[in-house]
Amino acid sequence: MKEIAKVNRSSGRAQAIQLELTMRVGQGGPIASAELISHPSGLARLEIRGYRGRVDRYLLSGADLMAAKGGRPIERPQPMLQPFFLLQPSSETTLRAALETFGVQSEWIGLAPCGDQDCFVIGDPRLAAPLPMSEGESAGEALDVLDDPLQIHSVDAGPLRDERDENEEADTAEFGDGSGEDAALAGPTLRLPESESIPRLWVDTKELQVRRIDRGSGVFVVFGPMKSFEKIKVPAWIEIHDPGEKTVRFEVDRAVAVNAPPQAFSRKWLLAPTGPPAPEPASVPIPVGNGANSEM
C-alpha cells in the first residue's frame, strides 16, 4: 500500500489534475468532448459537452454522486463519473481511507491475472492468500482463483469490449436521451457480502499502477496503459462498464495540473447555466437516428 501511494506521487497524480477527454459509446465514433477535474481529497467533477449542444455535469464527493443536464438536476444519474481520485492518494493512510469510502476492505490483498499481467487485488477475501490448512484438509481443497475479468469476462458484469456486438450503435438509455460460487468460497473466517459484487481495486504487480476499480453496484472501470503528459502519468483511456448498458469510453487527450479549491466542486457549478456546444471534431461522422444520442 505504501508503494502504491509512492507510485501515485511519482506519477504526478497526487495533486488536482484536469483531463481533457473524448467520449465514445459502444463501437461508435466520438459523440462528445469532456473535462474531468479530480482532486486527491476525494472530490471530482465531469462536464460532458455533446457536439449537438447537450451539456451534462457530474459531481462526486466521496461516494456521493450528483448530476445535472442543461443546469437541471438528474434524479438518477448514470455512473459516468467514477472515483479517478483512487489513483491519487499520496500516503498509505490516505489510500486506505479512500478505499474504505467505497467499501474496499484493504486488509485483503490477493493475486489474480489481469489481461497479460498479474494484479494485486485489494478487497476480495476470495483471492487473498489462503489461511493455513487445518488437520485433515487436503491441498486439493484449495480454492481456485477467479477467471481473468480483464481478458475473458467480468464475474459480475458480462462480456468485455472485444466480445460485444461490433454493430451496436453509440447510444445509451440515459446519456443518449449467496450464489453457488459464494457458498463454496465462504468459510467461517471469510465474511463475504450478500451481493456478488465486491468492491475491489486492481493494481498491476509490475508498475503498481491501478488497472481496474470494481464497485459494489456491479459497475466497474478499466484503465488503459499509462500515458505521459510531461510530468503527469495517467491512463490513456478510461472505460466504464455498467451491466446491461453499452460501454462508455473516455480517451485522454491532455492532462495538466490545476488549482482546484473546494468551491470548484460546488452545487453552484453543477447547476450553473451552460455555454455554447462543443466544436465538432473534423471528419468524424455524427451518429444519426431516432434515439436521444442523435441530439448530442
What is the longest distance spanned by two Cα atoms in the chain? 71
Instruction: Give mean pLDDT in consecutive 10-residue pieces for the chain, a chain of 296 residues.
Output: 97 97 96 97 96 93 94 94 97 96 94 89 86 54 43 38 38 38 35 66 96 94 96 97 95 97 94 74 43 39
Helix, strand, coil shares of the chain, percent, nearest 5, are: 15, 30, 50
Domain ranges of the chain: 2-132+141-273
- Residue type at position 141: E
Q: How far apart are the first and last CA of the chain?
A: 42
Q: How many C-beta neighbours within 10 Å does residue 281 have?
A: 12
Task: Collect all residues with Cβ–Cβ distance below 8 Å to 198 and sequence separation of at least 6.
Answer: 123, 124, 126, 192, 214, 216
C-alpha cell of residue 59: 459531481
CB 216 within 8 A of CB 225: no
- Please say whether the dihedral angle defined by the alpha carbons of residues 158, 162, 163 and 164, taken in this order, is positive or negative: positive
Q: 2-132+141-273 in CATH: which number?
A: 2.50.20
C-alpha cell of residue 104: 474496499
C-alpha cell of residue 282: 473534423
Task: Collect all residues with Cβ–Cβ distance below 8 Å to 188 and sequence separation of at least 6.
Answer: none
C-alpha cell of residue 186: 465462504
- Overall residue count recorded for the chain in this entry: 296
Q: Are strands 232-235 and 226-229 parallel, antiparallel or unpaired?
A: antiparallel
